[in-house]
Amino acid sequence: MTQPTIWALVDCNNFYVSCERLFNPKLEGRPVVVLSNNDGCVVARSNEAKALGVRMGQPWFELEPSAAQLGIVALSSNYTLYGDLSNRVMALLATLAPRQEVYSIDECFLDFSLFPPETRAAHGKRIRREIRRQLGLPVCVGIGPTKTLAKLANACAKKGWAGEGGVCDLSTWGNAARDALLNTIPVDEVWGVGKRQARQLAAVGITTAGALAAADPTWVRRRFSVVLARTAQELRGEPALEWAEAPIVQKQLVVSRSFGTRVTSLETLGSALTAFATAASEKLRAHGWLAREVGCFLETNPFDPGHYYHPFSSEPLPLPCNDAITLAKTANRIAARLFRPGYRYKKAGVVLFELIPNGTWQPDLFTAELLPRWAERQQTMAALDAINRRFGRNTVTLAAAHQRGWQMRQTRRSPNYTTDWRALPVV
């Protein structure tokens, strides 16, 4: 048997806010929020904003009246900036461990198996120091014998529940001590347990991570799901998730945006949907998933004069896939069916259904001839991801996504300090 993997999860603290502060030090110490596309609602908060009781997802129009009085600074999201800084963080982290899995824009798993147990926490601190020194961003590090425990250790480090100096190493804890800690952590802090599931668990008396770990595995599987049974297994320190494998907690994946201006042409809609399908395919690949079905919706503004038109349709895919080309083509084909001229579209989206892990799956006999092509596409997408990771997001994309005319409203956006020569900060 090979040696079991020790996982470290490195996560940037309040990533979007930290990115903004990097180029605007005046924001230090002030309550800062970052707003979603079209300045809709809060998607990131500084610790000061959290202390004021600003909620995640809170609509900006609720906050705006009192914002000035409370000293809250609101910024439009600048994904170009965050994406570029994310790439730099990930590139640096890749040099600090033998293996890396980028899980989202601000977090990644690292392989700590080769570090002797007593040095792991120190290495975590070195990582924190290096990222602070080279990029000026604060991160926390959680270390554990499973991905789920590493994720939980990270939350402990961030919230000060365990560990010290922004690093928490659960891999060296004995089972008894770990269980005692888990008994103090609310179950909705566990990776893969959503708010709704936490309520269902509370209804049967499981309110802490420890209680979930201790629950009878067969019962958890029958009463809830295999996914939750695997999560519970991971909490007990028994690995259930591999590299590039995340618990599938959602049944569908949606990428949708409201447009900056109303869209009336199918061509512009198609361009937007290509961009959404690309983003959705990137998410699938980052999570190691495939989708079996693609859906697409269009929407006019219900408050605009005239008929409110909001059609939706979906198509099963001949092979489950995660490649941008197939997803974009399918979404465009559906959109062409749904599109009615004469409407002013406000929003559109791509929805992926029937997500399965891209590990072990059963291809179909009657679409077998598509499989070699499918495997080629997997390689193309891996190459594309590698380029975009190295040279920045959207370095290589599908040409069809470049027809403009649908981009978002971003009135409070900071300049693209790191990716646009014209936005270089002047000293």
Partner 1 sequence: MLIRAPRDTLLTPLAAAAGIVEKRQTKPILGCFLLERSDDGLTVTATDLEAQIVVRQPLGELAGENGACAVPAKKLLDILKSLPDGAEVQLLAEENTLKVTSGRSRFTLHTLPAHDFPRLTPPSEGDQLTLTQHTLRRLVALTAFAMAQQDVRYYLNGLFFHLHDQNLHVVATDGHRLAHVEEAMPEFRDEREAILPRKTVLELQRLLSDSDQPVAITIAERQVVFTTGAVQFTSKIIEGKFPDYRRVIPMNHPVRIVFDRVELLRALQRVAVLAEDKLRPIKLTFETGLVRISGHNVEREEAVEEIEIHYEGAPLEIGFNVSYLIDVLTALTNEVIHIQLKDSMAAALITTPDDEHFHYVVMPMRL
Told to check if 2 binds partner 1 by CB under 8 A, we report no
Q: Which CB, 233 or 332, lies closer to partner 1?
A: 233
Distance, in Å, from the CA atom of 105 to the CA atom of 98, rounded to the nearest integer, reads 20
Told to check if 363 binds partner 1 by CB under 8 A, we report yes
Told to check if 260 binds partner 1 by CB under 8 A, we report no
Query: Among 123-131, 157-165, 368-376, 411-419, which window interacts with partner 1 (CB under 8 A)?
Result: 368-376
Report 192-251 residues binding partner 1 (CB under 8 A). Answer: 226, 230, 233, 238-240
Told to check if 158 binds partner 1 by CB under 8 A, we report no
Q: Which two tokens stand for residue 415?
A: 């300049």
Told to check if 29 binds partner 1 by CB under 8 A, we report no
Contacts by 86-91, CB closer than 8 A, 24 or more apart: 86/12, 86/15, 86/393, 87/389, 87/390, 87/392, 87/393, 88/135, 88/418, 89/12, 89/131, 89/135, 89/137, 89/139, 90/389, 91/389, 91/390
Query: Among 49-57, 191-199, 357-365, 418-426, which window interacts with partner 1 (CB under 8 A)?
Result: 357-365
Told to check if 368 binds partner 1 by CB under 8 A, we report yes
Residues 68, 176, 375, 427: which binds partner 1 (CB under 8 A)? Answer: 375
Report 390-409 residues binding partner 1 (CB under 8 A). Answer: none
CB neighbour list of residue 20: distance below 8 Å, 6 or more residues apart: 27, 32, 34, 75, 78, 81, 414
In the complex, the smallest distance separating the C-beta of residue 240 from partner 1, rounded to whole angstroms, is: 6
Told to check if 364 binds partner 1 by CB under 8 A, we report yes
In the complex, the smallest distance separating the C-beta of residue 287 from partner 1, rounded to whole angstroms, is: 17
Torsion of the alpha carbons at 100, 236, 232 and 148, rounded to the nearest 10: -20
Told to check if 366 binds partner 1 by CB under 8 A, we report yes
DSSP-derived pairing of the beta strands 345-357 and 42-45: unpaired
In the complex, the smallest distance separating the C-beta of residue 140 from partner 1, rounded to whole angstroms, is: 30
Helices 266-287 and 371-391 cross at an angle (nearest 10°) of 90
- Give the number of residues in contact with partner 1, rule: CB under 8 A: 18
Instruction: Give the closest residue to 291 by CA, choosing from 353, 246, 358.
Output: 353
Chain positions contacting partner 1, by CB under 8 A:
226, 230, 233, 238-240, 359-366, 368, 371-372, 375
